[in-house]
Amino acid sequence: MTEVMVTVNGLSKSFGGITATDNVNLEILKGEIHAIIGPNGAGKTTLISQLTGGLKVDKGSIRFQNTDITNLPPYARSRLGLARSFQITSVFHDLSVLNNASLAVQAHIGHSYRFWKPAEKDPEITVPAMEALARVGLEARAHTLTRSLSHGERRQLEIAMALATKPKILFLDEPMAGMGVDESARMVEILRTLRGENTILLIEHDMDAVFALADRITVLVYGRVIASGSPEEIRADAEVRRAYLGDES
Amino acid sequence: MDLKKLTSRRSVFTIFVLALCALMPVIAPVIGEPYFLEVFMRIMIWAIAAISLNLILGYGGMVSFGHALFLGVGGYTVGIFAYYDIFNGFITWPLALLFSAIIGLIIGAICLRTRGLYFIMITLAFAQMIYYLGVSVEEYGSDDGLIIYGRSEFIFDFAGVSWELDIGNQMVFYYLVFVILLACLYFTHRLINSRFGMVIRGVKSNESRMQAIGFNTYRYKLACFVIAGVMCSLAGVLSANAEKFVSPDMMYWTKSGELIFMVVLGGMGSLFGPVAGALVFLMLSEILSNLWENWNLIFGPFLVLVVLYARYGIDGLLERSGPKAKESAND
């Protein structure tokens, strides 16, 4: 549990005059579920986008294990083992559920400059893809067009796609966003089964879910880290309560 | 084979059209319209070009407005070699494909740095550049074009046995075009279902997601662009042989526009759609232009209606019989 997977050092990012990330330092340990919480506009998604490469960094550095990944493009980071899910569901609507997971597998097993053999009949792809779907409970829906999945199922598919790339670390941007109570509970269960095997950085608004899942929590307000620690420490932290959690919690 | 699949409306239509192409040399003289043979030859050649455009437009989501330039590259390679009395198809045809691959690689490498409307404009700009190159080179006829005195020659000389595929014979050439059309359809079918094809379809569906799961989408798109360009240049090669004539006109922007229309009319991202699109487009313009000199007044609004009311083109109409029509495409 002590190996550090990701080290963020003095990370800053601003859009025009607005500082979205302000000198953030962060360590993510192997095997932990590390939650990042904070009010709307605290820069959580901006942070995750910089970590996964969707946004360029203004200042500071990001190290993944022993590699400096600060300036690597997204696909290269993904190759190293960083996977992300998106806050706004981002799947391939025009393809089947299995195709979605298969593409993630394809990305992981090397180049796809294979022009002849049907991908859908290739066990090298379909077997791990079905495994990933099974881990989130979607195997029965494999041949459904993704467009016709429910919102909750699409979010599950996102997780499956991230898992299918066999990531070393998983960045989940609000996996419970827009979900009903039942769907949220189901997602918490899915994420719980991933604990230990996977390192997860979780951004989430659902505080019940965060406190149920997280090993450590970092609180972000206006792009700055105001607290970091175990769920108990965060619950007890006066500044966090004032800034974010509300005194009654 | 799956009988249900074979009797679906789409398959029946596909088989009907291909049978029509295959039997046209018999049908045309019987119905007393021998020129239909030439019409269908042209349809098949345009269908090959449309299939190639569909690869990037329909499957890859790259709206190229300059695809006809590859027709020109293929056509002019054959034309210019013929100008210097080189008719050996074993030399000129592969070279035409090679040139188009190189040109596709260069143009694609630049154009694919852009997206959406910019991609449309920059592909158009490149095509117009090549068009004006054709117009300005007087040696090869500038805008009057270049007459080709004879079709390519394919003479097999193997172990003392000599045999010629005489495409100067209209019937032989017709069936060569037909076989190449079938080959292009089969090749495209394999391609779009391969790993590479899945990547291309994923890029169309959601490119940033593809990058997030680890694909260098730029290179895959470029490879697809080159493949489509090479296939289109093959259509150019065939066209030059069919008409025995090439001119800059074959790569003018309206030709690229017509290709886009064939793809849209047939149904983007369907394997057989472009063939159906080319068939309907060229037959209609053939029939309408015989009826009335201002036929474009009817043809134009017809195309507008297709875009408005039949969003998936002919392929969409054929599928409506199925259990579930494609619904709301964009979300």
Distances (CA, A) of B289 to A134, B275, B281, B292, B293: 59, 21, 12, 6, 6
Backbone angles phi, psi at B253, to 5 degrees: -65, -25
B273-312 exposure pattern, b = at least 16 Cβ within 10 A, e = fewer: bbbbbbbbbbebeeebeeeeeebeeebeeebeebeeebeb
Q: What is the DSSP letter of B284?
A: H
Tokens encoding B13: 């239509």
Q: Check whether residue A35 and residue A113 sit in a common domain.
A: no
A132-146 mean pLDDT: 92
- SS3 at position A122: coil
Spatial contact of A213 and A195, defined as CB atoms under 8 Å apart: yes
Chain A residues with beta carbon closer than 8 angstroms to that of B199: 103, 106, 112
Chain A residues with beta carbon closer than 8 angstroms to that of B214: 75, 78-79, 107-108, 165
Does A114 contact B206 at a Cβ distance shorter than 8 Å?
no
Q: Check whether residue A185 and residue A123 sit in a common domain.
A: no
Q: Check whether residue A207 and residue A129 sit in a common domain.
A: no
- Number of domains making up chain A: 2
Q: What is this model's ipTM?
A: 0.81
Measured CA to CA, the distance from residue A97 to residue B46 in angstroms comes to 35
For residue A90, is pLDDT > 90? no
Spatial contact of B41 and B50, defined as CB atoms under 8 Å apart: no
Tokens encoding A31: 């095997």
Q: Quick one: what percent of chain A has pLDDT higher than 70?
A: 97
* CATH number of domain containing A46: 3.40.50.300
How many other C-beta atoms are found inside a 10 Å radius of the C-beta of residue B124?
A: 18
Does A103 contact B204 at a Cβ distance shorter than 8 Å?
no
Chain B residues with beta carbon closer than 8 angstroms to that of A92: 201-202, 205-206, 209
Tokens encoding A99: 């195709």
Chain B residues with beta carbon closer than 8 angstroms to that of A103: 198-199, 202, 210, 213
Spatial contact of A89 and A149, defined as CB atoms under 8 Å apart: no
Q: Check whether residue A20 and residue A123 sit in a common domain.
A: no
Q: How far is B222 from chain A (nearest CA, A)?
A: 12
Tell whether A124 lies on the interface with B, counting CB pairs under 8 A. Answer: no
Tell whether A54 lies on the interface with B, counting CB pairs under 8 A. Answer: yes
Chain B residues with a Cβ under 8 Å from any Cβ in chain A: 190-191, 193-199, 201-202, 204-206, 208-217, 220, 223, 327-329, 331
Q: Among B72, B49, B52, which Cα is nearest to B278's?
A: B49
Query: What pLDDT score was predicted for residue A249?
Result: 43
Q: Check whether residue A37 and residue A156 sit in a common domain.
A: no
Q: How far is B234 from chain A (nearest CA, A)?
A: 19
Query: Does CATH number 1.10.3470 belong to domain B39-319?
Result: yes
Q: Among B62, B119, B133, B73, which Cα is nearest to B99's?
A: B73
Backbone angles phi, psi at B21, to 5 degrees: -65, -45
Q: Check whether residue A96 and residue A71 sit in a common domain.
A: no
Tell whether A52 lies on the interface with B, counting CB pairs under 8 A. Answer: yes
Q: Check whether residue A127 and residue A104 sit in a common domain.
A: yes
Tokens encoding A220: 């972000």
Alpha helices in B151-216 (DSSP H): 170-193, 195-205, 207-212
Does B329 contact A94 at a Cβ distance shorter than 8 Å?
yes
Residue A200 structural domain:
1-81+167-249
Spatial contact of A118 and B193, defined as CB atoms under 8 Å apart: yes
Q: How far is A241 from chain B (nearest CA, A)?
A: 35
Chain A residues with beta carbon closer than 8 angstroms to that of B193: 118-120
Q: How far is A35 from chain B (nearest CA, A)?
A: 21
Does A93 contact B331 at a Cβ distance shorter than 8 Å?
yes
Angle at B228 between CA B227 and CA B233, to 5 degrees: 100
Residue A62 bridge partners (DSSP): A8
Q: Check whether residue A187 and residue A137 sit in a common domain.
A: no
* Facing B190 at nearest CB: one of A113, A116, A165: A116
Spatial contact of A170 and A199, defined as CB atoms under 8 Å apart: yes
Query: What pLDDT score was predicted for residue A1?
Result: 47
Measured CA to CA, the distance from residue A36 to residue A71 in angstroms comes to 23
Q: Among A133, A173, A142, A218, which Cα is nearest to A52's?
A: A173
Distances (CA, A) of A190 to A155, A156, B248: 11, 9, 61
Distances (CA, A) of A236 to A220, A227, A231: 16, 11, 9
Backbone angles phi, psi at A14, to 5 degrees: -130, 150
Q: Check whether residue A174 and residue A243 sit in a common domain.
A: yes
Chain B residues with beta carbon closer than 8 angstroms to that of A52: 212
pLDDT tens for each residue of chain B, 331 residues long: 456 666 788 889 999 999 999 999 999 999 988 889 999 999 999 999 999 999 999 999 999 999 999 999 999 999 999 999 999 999 999 999 999 999 999 999 999 999 889 999 999 999 999 999 999 999 998 889 999 999 999 998 887 888 888 998 999 999 999 999 999 999 999 999 999 999 999 999 999 889 888 899 999 999 999 999 999 999 999 999 999 999 999 999 999 999 999 999 999 989 999 999 999 999 998 888 888 888 888 888 888 888 788 778 888 888 764 444 444 333 3
- Domain positions in chain B: 39-319
Spatial contact of B220 and B62, defined as CB atoms under 8 Å apart: no
Does A93 contact B205 at a Cβ distance shorter than 8 Å?
yes
Q: What is the DSSP letter of A141?
A: G
A191-211 mean pLDDT: 88
Tell whether A106 lies on the interface with B, counting CB pairs under 8 A. Answer: yes
Chain B residues with beta carbon closer than 8 angstroms to that of A122: 195
Alpha helices in chain B (DSSP H): 3-6, 9-30, 36-54, 68-83, 89-111, 116-136, 170-193, 195-205, 207-212, 217-243, 253-266, 273-291, 296-309, 313-319
Tell whether A154 lies on the interface with B, counting CB pairs under 8 A. Answer: no
| Cβ pairs bridging A and B (under 8 Å) | 103
Does B211 contact A74 at a Cβ distance shorter than 8 Å?
yes
Q: Check whether residue A5 and residue A106 sit in a common domain.
A: no
Tokens encoding A89: 């569901």
Q: Check whether residue A228 and residue A202 sit in a common domain.
A: yes
Q: Check whether residue A186 and residue A161 sit in a common domain.
A: no
Measured CA to CA, the distance from residue A49 to residue A62 in angstroms comes to 12
Q: A120 to chain B: nearest residue by CA? A: B193
